[in-house]
Structure 1
Amino acid sequence: MSREIIQTDHAPQAIGPYSQAVKVDNTVYLSGQIPLIPESMELVTGDINAQIRRVFDNLSAVCEAAGGSLNDIAKLNIFLTDLSHFPTVNEIMSEYFAEPYPARAAIGVASLPKGAEVEMDAVMVLNGQV
């Protein structure tokens, strides 16, 4: 079993004692991403659309650093402080992912780090890279 820590400057640095992602053999466990701008580590300004897009961009950057893409994600977890944004997540997700879509959960939570309204984490499987 091989274990590799994934890190990229194209996604926000960890704001606690964790890694952006950990690759074990051909499976990559991506830590939760909130809508932080990597360069400033500040929350993106704007409505929920901007926050959701920033989170997908951050996840994408970590996927790429691990040698994959969003389309290699097998399981996506979405955490929302307001589940009324669920249709917006669906709409934007369809712009970032191609079918077949990953397995997914959407969970309503009371709060998220730094006052974010959305956070996502994922499990990615890289084909043919054992």
Structure 2
Amino acid sequence: MTDKIAITPDTHTTPPARFSHGVRKGNLLQVAGQVGFLPHVEGQPPTPAGPTLRAQTLRTLENVRSVLEAGGATWDDVMMIRVYLTDTDHFGEMNALYNAYFDEQGLKQAPAARTTVYVGLPAGLLIEIDALAVLG
């Protein structure tokens, strides 16, 4: 049986609770919900990329990508993406940012399936994204 391997990129802090930023088992990689925190600086608390949906969305996508890469995956390996928004009015802007981001990624495979839901997040955070990748 294949072991589960915790994935934490150098850009991320240790999670605040008992979970991993990503877990790989065999050819599956689950990326935990990522938010728009800037890359970790030793001795500094996590800092949001900014107050805007744009800044947080783009940083969140990059944080998901960091976990994917640390686990040996790329966006082309992603089968499912879940987006969690705090405000239904943000859907159109998020969708435009999401589409532009993936247009720039030069994907060679079909886009991942996606679900978007509306949730409560800690104060100041507007978006969270998780992903499931299948490698090889």
TM-score normalised per structure 2: 0.84
Letter in 2 for 1:47: T
Structure 1 residues 35-77: Cα deviation after superposition (integer angstroms, max 9, x where no partner): 1112241111141100000100100000000111122111111
- For residues 93 and 68 of structure 1, the distance between their equivalents in structure 2, rounded to whole angstroms, comes to 19
Identity of aligned residues (%): 29
5+ residue gaps in structure 1?
none
5+ residue gaps in structure 2?
none
- Contact 1:11–1:59, Cα closer than 8 Å, also in 2: no
CA RMSD, Structure 1 to Structure 2 (Å):
1.6
1:45 maps to which of 45, 50, 67: 50
SS at match of 2:10: coil
TM-score normalised per structure 1: 0.87
Letter in 2 for 1:34: V
**What residue number does 1:122 align with?**
131
Moved over 3 A (4+): none
- For residues 119 and 84 of structure 1, the distance between their equivalents in structure 2, rounded to whole angstroms, comes to 16
